[in-house]
Chains A and B, each alone.
Chain A
Amino acid sequence: MKKNNYNYIIVAGCSRFGANIASMLSLQGKDVVVLDNDSRSFRKLSPGYSGFTNIADATDIDELTRAGIEKADVVVAATNDDNTNIMIAQIASKIFNVPKVVSRLYDTEKEIVYQDFNIQIIYPSRLSMNEFEKLILTDDMEVLK
């Protein structure tokens, strides 16, 4: 039997973003592990979340190993700190060869450190910009009508 893609996912950082992704993937029937060093963060997970929650420092390679990073298909670096996300994503991609690594990055000036790495980046600031442009554009069109 062929293994389905992306069945084992580690979400590092139970931020709003991390918690929503974890909840969504868990509802889709994936195996999800969420790591956060503050147990109170896990309340953001939806009531239907059926994955694991580990209280752990996700920049620690032993904690990542314990969370099963060696067999992970996807790692999402979703903490609220850019530098922590950079470190987690680089560890996942370079040291554990995780096939798909996604990282959130607020500061677009730092994207250069992801050069030479196989890491997908989500830029909240750029996404907001795009959305803003779309809203303004539609407003303009309505004015023109």
Chain B
Amino acid sequence: MNIVMVGGRRKIDFLAKSLLSKKQHVTMIHDDENYCKYLSRTHDAPVIYGDGSKPYILEDANIQEADIVIALTPYDADNLVICQLAKKVYGVQRVFATVSNPKNVEVFKKLGISTAISSTYIMAGTIEQMASINEMANFIPLEEGKIVVMEIVVQENSPVCGKTLAEVPIPEQAIIGCIIRGVNSIIPRGKTQIQTDDKLIILSPPAVQRKIIKLIVGRDDI
């Protein structure tokens, strides 16, 4: 796949390394000449020095042939224009943008860029959840938080410990999709028994999240 990436420092460096190791064709655009030198020294991929929100620079990067464009600059407005140009002018199918202002995830969506990623947004949600509940080992919001994946560790004193799945009154909208027991992962059925130190992977909308935490942890002091 042909991937064009614009701007960003550690982000572009890290992504380039990861994508190149997967044998993708990567072209990088950056507006800092010294950083361009660094990028081209470090990675075996073309690097273009210039303002990636200018059409002629994008054309230099052969954007017409690109399958994916990723805008990583620190300025949300630049990323918006890069993505809009890629999509509207050059017909790129998939565009991604990072945004520094978490509110802009919604704004980008309304302006036609539905794949804006805000690290602040994701991080804030994760930290908030993980900090509030000890047993929460992981927390991933999907679809702007419309649905969440929780990883909850079952403690000895948990009300569900020792019960089978069928005995646990899980709300209808939620599901225990997987149980991690040691190195094994189990797709649970009604007869599966929940044991101490099991990690439950739960998929639910945020509305019933509290209910589930209370059910498994025994308290809901979020």
Contacts and interface: CB of A to CB of B under 8 A. Distances in A.
B77 A59 contact: yes
Contact of B55 (A83, A95, A110): A110
A81 to B, nearest CB: 7
Interface in B27-80: 53-56, 75-78, 80
Indicate the size class of the contact surface on chain A. 20 to 34
CB-based closest 3 A-B pairs: A87-B77, A83-B77, A83-B81
Interface of A: 59-62, 81-84, 86-88, 90-91, 94-95, 107, 109-110, 112-113, 115
Contact of B101 (A60, A95, A107): A60
B81 A62 contact: no
A112 B75 contact: no
Contacts of B166: none
A55 B88 CA distance: 33
Contact of B56 (A84, A91, A109): A109
Nearest to A109: B55
A60 B88 CA distance: 24
Nearest to B80: A87
Given A90-B111, A95-B110, A110 B85 contact: yes
